[in-house]
Amino acid sequence: MTTQQLTDQIKKKKSFLCIGLDVDLNKIPKHLLDTEDPIFEFNKAIIDATHHLCVAYKPNTAFYEAYGIKGWKALEKTIQYLNQNHPDIFTIADAKRGDIGNTSTMYAKAFFEDLAFDSVTIAPYMGKDSVEPFLAFKNKHTILLALTSNTGAFDFQTKSIDGKELYKQVLETSKTYQNSENLMYVVGATKAEYFSDIRKIIPNSFLLVPGVGAQGGNLQDVCKYGMSDNVGLLINSSRGIIYASNKEDFAQAAANNAKALQQQMEEILNM
């Protein structure tokens, strides 16, 4: 999917919501545990109930890898279900990969070719030759960790090196990479006060913004300082939506929470 197609979807649905599919078998409704593939059944029910309210889904691969081969199969079935039934929805593998060049190429093949995700999250720490193999894939997007939502972000990312904060150096340097038009960035919703500075460096890039909901980030603040002329935001909520209820009504409860966020987004887009 191109960024223009993503922007068109945002305008059509009046939503820039990304729903995180972080499936924890201890949190899903008990009746699903009797099915052959509880992870996929949970995801399918959530997707069926919420796809009209969001423009993206983001499974975090940790929640699948933790269940071994069954988890990976459920991830594969989930992305196939999305690509077959909702090709207009942007898909993000939140895998936070990145390694020496030939290894990065294999990671890119895994997520872009085998699983056919639209995008994958990447850690920038190993630099240019670890990121460019992902950028080489046409119409696929590399979402670089810039300023993360957790408190540990202050350990390194905001530290000044040669007079400039590390996260700013990540933004500036990554713009010089080959095929940098395929870059997006992760910026945490809990860091709303940093968005103005970030937009000075990357005015038009898409930002994936986790941290609204369970982590306490504020949607209005993020939009006030982080929205670009073309919206340029994907606001993620995972636990705040998918675990709205652990009873039989879980999918409808998730849809209600997604709807509440989508309505706030619609108001912001109409302002």
Residues of this chain that interact with ligand LLZGTKA7 (CB under 6 A) are 20, 22, 60, 94, 148-150, 186, 188, 210-211, 213-215, 236-240
Q: With respect to ligand LLZGTKA7, which residue has the nearer C-beta, 38 or 210?
A: 210
Q: Are 123 and 94 in contact (CB under 8 A)?
A: no
Give min distance, CB of 150 to ligand LLZGTKA7, in A: 6
Q: Is 117 helix (H, G, I), strand (E, B) or coil?
A: coil
Characterize 77-100 residue by residue with b for buried, 16 or more Cβ atoms within 10 angstroms of its Cβ, and e for exposed. bbbeebeeebeebbbbbbbbbbbe
Q: With respect to ligand LLZGTKA7, which residue has the nearer C-beta, 213 or 232?
A: 213
Give min distance, CB of 152 to ligand LLZGTKA7, in A: 9
Q: With respect to ligand LLZGTKA7, which residue has the nearer C-beta, 211 or 226?
A: 211
70 is catalytic: no
* 74 DSSP β-pair partners: none
Tokens of 114: 């085998």
CB atoms within 10 A of CB 26: 5
CA distance 35 to 270: 43
Q: With respect to ligand LLZGTKA7, which residue has the nearer C-beta, 83 or 150?
A: 150
Q: With respect to ligand LLZGTKA7, which residue has the nearer C-beta, 9 or 237?
A: 237
Residue nearest to ligand LLZGTKA7 according to CB distances in the complex: 148
Enumerate the H helices of the chain as residue ranges: 3-13, 38-50, 62-65, 68-85, 101-108, 128-135, 153-156, 166-174, 195-201, 219-226, 239-242, 250-270
Task: Report DSSP letters for 69-107, one per residue.
Answer: HHHHHHHHHHHHHHHHH-TTSEEEEEEEE--SHHHHHHH
Treating both helix axes as pointing N-terminal to C-terminal, what angle do 101-108 and 128-135 enclose, rounded to 10 degrees? 30
Give min distance, CB of 217 to ligand LLZGTKA7, in A: 9
Q: With respect to ligand LLZGTKA7, which residue has the nearer C-beta, 108 or 186?
A: 186
Give min distance, CB of 223 to ligand LLZGTKA7, in A: 17
Give min distance, CB of 4 to ligand LLZGTKA7, in A: 25
Q: Identify the active-site residue in 96, 168, 175, 191.
A: 96
Q: Are 166 and 134 in contact (CB under 8 A)?
A: no
In the chain, the largest separation of any two C-alpha atoms, in whole Å, equals: 57
Give min distance, CB of 42 to ligand LLZGTKA7, in A: 15
Q: Which amino acid is at 57?
A: Y
Give catalytic residues, as residue numbers: 96
